[in-house]
Structure 1
């Protein structure tokens, strides 16, 4: 792993694989670079891939200065390490961070948004916003009471896992790593704002954008695409955590060739 110093002198760790145009992977909630390494390896056959541990995760240093702004500073610094046209791949909450980065005009050539975590801007928006805030407050209380495992269990309760599957995950090395970095969930909720499709931010994005989604998230993808200037949607057979890296990589390769 390599590292760079962010604007506030926090060390951020990353792996750099392959050659070609630069592609940065921005991971989602409760994940560090290990989760995306198989995809990074596949993409490194075609791109120079930067797969990093977001602030306070994995091998990146712990910092009390953790906010949406510090996360954006980290991403901007990482993007600046490469002189080629940059592509940013944002997954789940990482897609929310990538949207903010592109909206504020970072040096991004193309944008790939994956498994968007937003609720629709529809007649249920008020209830969705209230639920988002309730979830945030529940996780905040658990973390403040030092119940990190409880925070992870609460966050994952709607992810379709059975009790046995959730218990198995919690007991695994990946689950223990997720528990350790569970306080970062609070920043991810802040990155997502009120939890609704970020219409105003999407309207500011001028670069070509591809949204990768399964049928489960198709309506959310379509809602977001309405506000993007140059967008396309590619449907995957299943969510990315159930999809082989080669199948995720192919639409990215096609998108880059346009």
Structure 2
């Protein structure tokens, strides 16, 4: 992987593919960039993709103390490395980071986010606050396995999914990434969509969700991501709201790349759309 240095000197590792307009892919929780690799490969047919490992993950470094602004500076460093204004794609909590980066004034042409897990009601906001408190204690005590399990339960994983994950070969890797759950929590703030900051984003934004049930998130109510997406889209000056039928929380890279390609290359008017 290639490396760029962020403003605070932190090493940020990334993989560059393709040619054409720049798209930077921002991963979500417990992801070191691997989850976006297939999507980056598909987009590289038409774009120059920068798929990076967020700080504290994979081959990227980390510098204490953590702050959301440092992660925004990491994206800015990638934009600088690309040498031109960029498009951003963020999945899950990475979508919240992408929106915060655009709201901060980075050189961003457009933004696409998929299933950003903001909370749309008071009960979920309270549940989120409890999760953050518990996560802080577990990480402070070095109980990384318990922190991952706590996150999975928050995300609606079943007992069977949690048990299966803990006995799987990829579980140790999740434990290594556990401290970055606090970074994702910081990106989501108090859990509610930051409508005031979202209103600052004048660039076109695609706000997408999947239209199919996800068997690994069965504990979440079916409308969870749609309610958050509707609130995000309503706060943005130039939002295109899309529901992609049949897709779950991890969308099929080939079909989703076609949606992103159309959005990133089009300059039409923005309206509520369902695919």
TM-score in terms of structure 2 length: 0.87
Aligned residues: 253
Q: CA deviation at 1:116?
A: 1.1
Alpha-carbon distance between aligned partners in 1 of 2:105 and 2:157, rounded to the nearest angstrom: 38
Alpha-carbon distance between aligned partners in 1 of 2:38 and 2:171, rounded to the nearest angstrom: 18
SS at match of 1:38: helix
Alpha-carbon distance between aligned partners in 1 of 2:152 and 2:228, rounded to the nearest angstrom: 19
Match of 1:233 among 233, 241, 247: 241
- Summarize the Cα distance change of 1:140–1:196 in structure 2 as closer, same or farther, 3 Å threshold: same
Alpha-carbon distance between aligned partners in 1 of 2:170 and 2:100, rounded to the nearest angstrom: 28
Equivalent position of 2:134 in the other structure? 138
Equivalent position of 2:252 in the other structure? 244
User: Is 1:224 matched up with 2:232?
Assistant: yes
Alpha-carbon distance between aligned partners in 2 of 1:59 and 1:189, rounded to the nearest angstrom: 21
Q: Which aligned runs of 4 or more in structure 1 are off by greater than 6 angstroms?
A: none
Alpha-carbon distance between aligned partners in 2 of 1:139 and 1:152, rounded to the nearest angstrom: 9
Q: Would you say the 8 A contact 2:131–2:154 is kept in 1?
A: no
Q: Which runs of 5+ in 2 are unaligned?
A: 212-222, 267-275
Alpha-carbon distance between aligned partners in 2 of 1:168 and 1:247, rounded to the nearest angstrom: 29
Greater Cα shift, 105-114 or 75-84: 75-84
Equivalent position of 2:162 in the other structure? 166
* 1:86-135 Cα deviation digits (max 9, x unpaired): 11001111111111111111000010011111012xxx43x433322211
Q: CA deviation at 1:173?
A: 4.2
Alpha-carbon distance between aligned partners in 2 of 1:253 and 1:106, rounded to the nearest angstrom: 21
Equivalent position of 2:75 in the other structure? 75
- TM-align CA RMSD: 1.5
SS at match of 1:33: coil
Q: Which runs of 5+ in 1 are unaligned?
A: none
Equivalent position of 1:32 in the other structure? 32
SS at match of 2:170: helix
Q: Would you say the 8 A contact 2:54–2:60 is kept in 1?
A: yes
Q: Would you say the 8 A contact 1:55–1:66 is kept in 2?
A: no
